[in-house]
């Protein structure tokens, strides 16, 4: 029985080694004209989010139609309101293998101080798709037009609770509205994602908020729903009325000179060659016209606009100029939570220390722990991660070594267990690369 298991284990290891060698051979054969390897598209948000759902159909069509020799692959790098993923591309080599898809938060993140870089640190390759923004109130709200709302905000300033995350494009739009109707002042309330904003408008914790067209279509309940459980569009922020919203007038039509929208832009690291940028832009242009993509865009209520070259550069410059004029420091009267929590933690720490000094000797149960072994284990782990980060050694080799070393450490260097542990280590190292790399699309370090 044991022999059979060993036999299977060795066969598995051989198969995995063959797979690994074949992969290495394929890499050697590749030539060096652009693109010689897959192009990574960084999405600075989670898989399944708005940006992700926008990009994935595009990528799929590009791979299906093979307009370009190598496929585009998605790398989700969420966090920090999009600044983590953006920074990754900003610091990437300008060779066209790492491109960012990010909307106007790129501009507002710099203006609000969340990031110390902005559009000027990138080459903007293209703009694809435009998100229509709307101003939403509860169905039974007393305002009929955007002017009613702004007038109310002028009559009693700082009482109309307007949902907009501080520093987000919506926040800048709100300031834009205030400026268009002198004297109007909203009480800006931070309000998370569309879901939270919806719940708070229905529960009357917010008086108005900015939603995308897609969010509105999703949240709008059918005709006949009680007025206190539904939402209504006050105005549309696009330049022209939108066909999906019959009868809803734009802000401009209602006499308030504000237009605003959000769009997805494709950014390359500064210094990326022009011909690479053009190749990517032309591929994207073709993808945007593909019927499959069009269908998905209709579902997501995104307008299929496209611009590149000088047109997109002017567009970004215009948006930066407009948003900059409202770049008032986000005023915050909020308590400084960081300081409070630090103080509370320190006070509790003192209480714990004092009480354990007073009750010293009441906790006699000491387990016998081999500290030396723990330190060795930790050192092995630290070395492993450091090598992954800094040394160009293959992942499977390092991992197999780590697994073997830790196993030997735990069993106290018992020689008779070494063969089994070597098998486990090789299967774990190679297997992890095979399973995660091929099935889950995780790009290992």
Q: Site residues for another protein, window 280-339 (CB under 8 A)? A: 330, 332-335, 337-338
d(Cα 365, Cα 362) in Å, to the nearest integer? 9
Contact between 84 and another protein by CB under 8 A: the answer reads yes
Q: Which of 344, 379, 393, 438 touches another protein (CB under 8 A)?
A: 344
Q: Tell me how far CA of residue 412 lies from CA of 375, 376, 406, 417, 418, in angstroms.
A: 14, 12, 10, 10, 11
Identity of the residue, 38 or 273, whose beta carbon is nearer to another protein in the bound complex: 38
CA dihedral 407, 408, 412, 414 (to 10 degrees): 120
Give how many residues touch another protein by CB under 8 A.
106
> Which two three-digit tokens encode residue 87?
């920074």
Q: Which stretch binds another protein (CB under 8 A): 119-127, 146-154, 318-326, 378-386?
A: 378-386
Q: Apex CA 86: angle with CA 162 and CA 213, to 5°?
A: 40
Identity of the residue, 206 or 252, whose beta carbon is nearer to another protein in the bound complex: 206
Q: Apex CA 297: angle with CA 63 and CA 258, to 5°?
A: 130
Strand partners, 41: 74, 99
Q: Which of 370, 379, 393, 438 touches another protein (CB under 8 A)?
A: 370
Please, which residues have CB within 8 angstroms of residue 172's CB and are 6 or more apart in sequence? 108, 111, 260, 323, 326, 327
Q: Is 178 strand, coil or helix?
A: helix
Answer whether 421's CB lies under 8 Å from 404's CB: yes
Burial of 229 (0-12, 13-18, 19+ CB in 10 A): exposed
Site for another protein in 221-280 (CB under 8 A): 221
Contact between 212 and another protein by CB under 8 A: the answer reads no
Q: Which of 143, 219, 265, 306 touches another protein (CB under 8 A)?
A: 219
Q: Is 237 strand, coil or helix?
A: coil
Identity of the residue, 66 or 332, whose beta carbon is nearer to another protein in the bound complex: 332
Q: Is 422 strand, coil or helix?
A: helix
Site for another protein in 416-445 (CB under 8 A): 417, 420-421, 424-425, 428-429, 432, 436, 440-445
Identity of the residue, 57 or 167, whose beta carbon is nearer to another protein in the bound complex: 167
Site for another protein in 25-64 (CB under 8 A): 46-49, 53
Q: Which stretch binds another protein (CB under 8 A): 11-19, 175-183, 236-244, 363-371?
A: 363-371
Identity of the residue, 243 or 412, whose beta carbon is nearer to another protein in the bound complex: 412
Q: Which stretch binds another protein (CB under 8 A): 11-19, 258-266, 290-298, 405-413?
A: 405-413
Contact between 193 and another protein by CB under 8 A: the answer reads yes
Answer whether 191's CB lies under 8 Å from 206's CB: yes
Q: Which of 10, 24, 227, 352 touches another protein (CB under 8 A)?
A: 352
Q: Is 269 strand, coil or helix?
A: strand
**Smallest separation, CB 397 to another protein (Å):** 13
Q: Which stretch binds another protein (CB under 8 A): 2-10, 61-69, 192-200, 319-327?
A: 192-200
The one-character DSSP state at 412 is T
Contact between 23 and another protein by CB under 8 A: the answer reads no
Which residue blocks in 43-99 are alpha helix, DSSP H?
50-65, 83-90
**Smallest separation, CB 7 to another protein (Å):** 18
Strand partners, 235: 135
Q: Which stretch binds another protein (CB under 8 A): 20-28, 74-82, 290-298, 301-309?
A: 74-82
d(Cα 50, Cα 57) in Å, to the nearest integer? 12
Mark residues 154-183: x for contact with another protein by CB under 8 A, - for none: ----x--x---xxxx---------------
Q: Is 233 strand, coil or helix?
A: strand
Q: Which of 156, 314, 345, 438 touches another protein (CB under 8 A)?
A: 345
Identity of the residue, 108 or 238, whose beta carbon is nearer to another protein in the bound complex: 108
């Amino acid at each position: 029985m044991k022999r059979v298991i060993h036999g299977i284990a060795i066969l598995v290891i051989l198969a995995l080694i063959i797979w690994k060698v074949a992969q290495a051979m394929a890499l050697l054969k590749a030539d060096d004209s652009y693109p010689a390897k897959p192009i990574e598209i960084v999405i600075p948000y989670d898989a399944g989010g708005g940006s992700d759902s926008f990009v994935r159909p595009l990528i799929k069509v590009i791979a299906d139609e093979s307009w370009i020799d190598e496929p585009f692959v998605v790398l989700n790098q969420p966090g920090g309101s999009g600044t983590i993923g953006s920074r990754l591309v900003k610091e990437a080599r300008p060779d066209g293998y790492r491109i960012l898809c990010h909307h106007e938060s790129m501009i507002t993140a710099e203006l609000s101080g969340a990031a110390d870089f902005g559009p000027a640190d990138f080459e903007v390759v293209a703009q694809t798709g435009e998100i229509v923004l709307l101003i939403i109130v509860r169905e039974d709200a007393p305002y009929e037009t955007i002017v009613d709302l702004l007038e109310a905000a002028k009559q009693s300033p700082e009482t109309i609770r307007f949902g907009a995350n501080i520093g987000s494009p919506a926040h800048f739009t709100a300031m834009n509205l205030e400026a268009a109707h002198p004297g109007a002042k909203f009480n800006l309330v931070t309000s998370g994602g569309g879901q939270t904003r919806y719940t708070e408008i229905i529960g009357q914790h917010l008086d108005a908020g900015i939603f995308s067209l897609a969010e509105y279509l999703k949240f709008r309940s059918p005709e006949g729903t009680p007025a206190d459980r539904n939402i209504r569009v006050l105005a549309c922020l696009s330049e022209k009325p939108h066909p999906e919203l019959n009868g809803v007038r734009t802000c401009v039509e209602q006499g308030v000179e504000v237009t605003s929208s959000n769009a997805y832009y494709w950014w390359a690291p500064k210094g990326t060659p022009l011909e690479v940028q053009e190749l990517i832009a032309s591929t994207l242009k073709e993808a945007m016209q593909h019927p499959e993509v069009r269908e998905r865009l209709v579902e997501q209520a995104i307008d299929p606009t496209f611009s590149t070259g000088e047109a997109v550069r002017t567009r970004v410059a215009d948006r930066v100029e407009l948003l900059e004029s409202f770049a008032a420091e986000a005023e915050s009267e909020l308590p400084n939570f960081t300081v409070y929590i630090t103080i509370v933690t320190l006070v509790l720490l003192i209480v714990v220390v004092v009480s354990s000094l007073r009750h010293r000797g009441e906790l006699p149960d000491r387990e016998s722990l081999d500290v030396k072994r723990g330190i060795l284990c930790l050192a092995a782990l630290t070395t492993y991660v450091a090598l992954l980060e800094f040394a160009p050694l293959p992942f499977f080799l390092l991992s197999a070594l780590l697994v073997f070393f830790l196993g030997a450490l735990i069993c106290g260097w018992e020689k008779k267990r070494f063969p089994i542990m070597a098998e486990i280590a090789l299967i774990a190292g190679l297997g992890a690369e095979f399973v995660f790399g091929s099935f889950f699309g995780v790009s290992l370090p």
